[in-house]
A and B are shown apart, each in its own frame.
Chain A
Amino acid sequence: MLADTLGRYILQDYPLDARLTAGASDIGYAPEKWIELAELGVIGALFSEDDGGFGGAGFDLAVVFEAIGRGLICEPFLESAVLAGGALAVAGSAAQKARLEDVISGQSVGALAHFEADDGCDVRFVSARAVAKGDGWVLSGLKAVVRHAGAADFLIVSSRTDGQAGDEDGISLFLVASDAAGLEIVDYQTIDGGRAAEVVLRDLTVGADALIGVAGQGAAVLQHVLGRGLLALSAEALGLMDVIKDMTIEFIQTRQQFGVPIGKFQALQHRMAEMLLEIEQARSAVINAAASVDMPGVARERALSAAKFTIGQIGTLVAEESIQLHGGIGMTWEHSLGHFAKRLVMIGHELGDEDYHLSRYIRLGQEAQNV
Chain B
Amino acid sequence: MDLNYSADELAFQAEVRNWLSENLSPELSYKVKHGQRQTKEDTEGWHATLNSNGWLANHWPVEHGGPGWTAIQRHIFEEECCLAYAPRVVPFGVSMLAPVLIKYGNEAQKTHWLPRILDGSDWWCQGYSEPGAGSDLASLRCKAARDGDHYVVNGQKTWTTLGQYANMIFCLVRTSGEGKPQQGISFLLIDMNTPGIEVRPIHLLEGTHEVNEVFFTDVRVPVENLVGEENKGWTYAKYLLTYERTNIAGIGFSMAALGELKTIAKDQKRAGRSLADDPLFAARLARAEIELENARITNLRVVSAAAAGGAPGAESSMLKIKGTEIRQELDNLKRKAVGAYAAPFVPEAMDAGFNGPDIGPDYAAPIARQYFNNRKISIFGGSNEIQKNIISKMILGL
Name which residue of chain A comes closest to B361, CB basis: A117
Contact with B along A317-343 (1 / 0, CB 8 A): 000100110011011111100110110
Q: How many residues of A contact B (CB 8 A)?
A: 55
Distance, CA A227 to CA B344, complexed state (A): 24
Contact with B along A254-279 (1 / 0, CB 8 A): 00111100100101100000000000
| Distance A359 CA – B280 CA, assembled complex (angstroms) | 8
In the assembled complex, how far is the CB of residue B389 from the closest CB belonging to chain A, in whole angstroms? 8
With most chain A CB atoms within 10 A of its CB, the pick from B135, B339, B341, B372 is B339
Contacts of B108 in A (CB 8 A): none
Name which residue of chain A comes closest to B375, CB basis.
A323
Does B359 reach chain A (CB closer than 8 Å)?
yes
Q: Which of B134, B368, B369 contacts A327 (CB 8 A)?
A: B134
Report the tally of A-B residue pairs with Cβ distances under 8 A: 149
For the complex, give the distance between the alpha carbons of A301 and B336 in Å. 23
Q: Flag whether B378 is at the interface (Cβ < 8 A).
A: yes
Smallest CB–CB gap between A147 and chain B, Å? 8
Within 8 A of B (CB), among A122-146: 122, 124-125, 144-145
Q: Collect the chain A residues with CB atoms within 8 Å of residue B342's CB.
A: 191, 346, 349
Stretch binding the partner chain, chosen from A11-19, A152-160, A287-295, A350-358: A350-358
CB pair B203–A267 under 8 Å, yes or no, is: no
**Chain A hits for B385, CB < 8 A:** 265, 267-268, 324
Using a CB-CB cutoff of 8 Å, which residues 155-208 of chain B contact chain A? 158-159, 202-207
Q: Is the interface of A mostly helix, strand, loop or mixed?
A: mixed
Is A115 interfacial (CB-CB < 8 Å)? yes
Give per-residue flags for B329-357: 1 if the beta carbon is below 8 A from chain A beta carbons, else 0. 00010011001111111110000000001
User: Is A316 close to B, CB under 8 A?
Assistant: yes
Determine whether A246 belongs to the interface, using a CB cutoff of 8 Å to chain B: no
Contact, CB under 8 Å: B344 / A349: no
The one of A121, A125, A188 in contact with B344, judged by C-beta atoms closer than 8 angstroms, is A188
For A367, list chain B residues within 8 Å (CB): none
Cβ–Cβ < 8 Å partners of A32 in chain B: none
Q: Are B136 and A327 in contact (CB under 8 A)?
A: no
Contact A333–B204 (Cβ < 8 Å): yes
Q: Is the CB of A327 within 8 A of B379?
A: yes
| Residue from B129, B328, B332, B339 in contact with A328 in the complex, judged by beta carbons closer than 8 Å | B129
Inter-chain contact B344/A190, CB cutoff 8 Å? yes
**Once the chains bind, are A145 and B340 in contact (CB under 8 Å)?**
yes
Residues of A within 8 A of B346 (CB): 188-189
Asked if A186 is at the interface (CB within 8 A of a chain B CB), the reply is yes
Q: Which residue of A lies closest to B275 (CB)?
A: A120
Determine the residue in chain A with the shortest Cβ distance to B338.
A349
Chain B, interface SS category: mixed
CA of A145 to CA of B357, assembled, Å: 14
Closest to B341 in A: A145
Q: Which residues of chain B come closer than 8 Å to A121, judged between CB atoms? A: 271, 339
- Chain A residues with Cβ below 8 Å from B341 are 117, 144-145
> Which residues on the B side are within 8 Å of A50 (C-beta)?
none
Distance of A91 Cα from B136 Cα, bound (Å): 61
Q: How far is the CB of B134 from chain A (nearest CB, A)?
A: 5
- Whose C-beta in chain A lies nearest to the C-beta of B129? A328
Residues 315-335 of B at the A interface (beta carbon under 8 Å)? 328, 332, 335
Residues of A within 8 A of B388 (CB): 267
Known A-B contacts A119-B271, A327-B135, A334-B203; A346 and B368 likewise in contact (beta carbons under 8 Å): yes
Query: Given the known A-B contacts A145-B360, A324-B378, A331-B205, are A350 and B271 also in contact in the complex, defined by CB atoms under 8 Å?
Result: no
Is the pair B271, A332 in contact by a Cβ cutoff of 8 Å? no
Which residues of the partner chain A approach B389 to less than 8 Å between Cβ atoms?
Answer: 267
Q: Does A220 contact B (CB under 8 A)?
A: no
How far is it, in angstroms, between the C-alpha of A267 and the C-alpha of B136 when the chains are bound?
A: 16
With contacts A118-B269, A118-B270, A144-B360 known, is A196 near B135, CB below 8 A?
no
Give the complex CA separation of A328 and B134 in angstroms: 8
* Distance of A182 from chain B, by nearest CB (Å): 18
Chain B 124-154 residues near chain A, CB threshold 8 A: 129, 132, 134-136, 139
Cα-based distance from A323 to B360 in the complex (angstroms)? 29
Is B42 positioned at the interface, with any CB of A under 8 Å from its CB? no
23 pairs, A vs B, C-beta closer than 8 Å: A117-B269, A120-B271, A121-B271, A122-B270, A122-B271, A144-B340, A166-B271, A190-B343, A190-B345, A191-B368, A259-B139, A323-B379, A327-B134, A331-B375, A333-B204, A333-B205, A338-B372, A345-B371, A346-B343, A355-B280, A356-B270, A358-B280, A359-B280
**B residues in contact (CB < 8 Å) with A:** 129, 132, 134-136, 139, 158-159, 202-207, 269-272, 278, 280-281, 328, 332, 335-336, 339-347, 357, 359-360, 368-369, 371-372, 375-376, 378-380, 383-385, 388-389
Given A267-B389, A324-B384, A346-B342, output 10 extra A-B contacts at Cβ < 8 Å: A258-B135, A327-B134, A330-B205, A330-B379, A334-B202, A341-B205, A346-B343, A346-B368, A349-B343, A355-B281
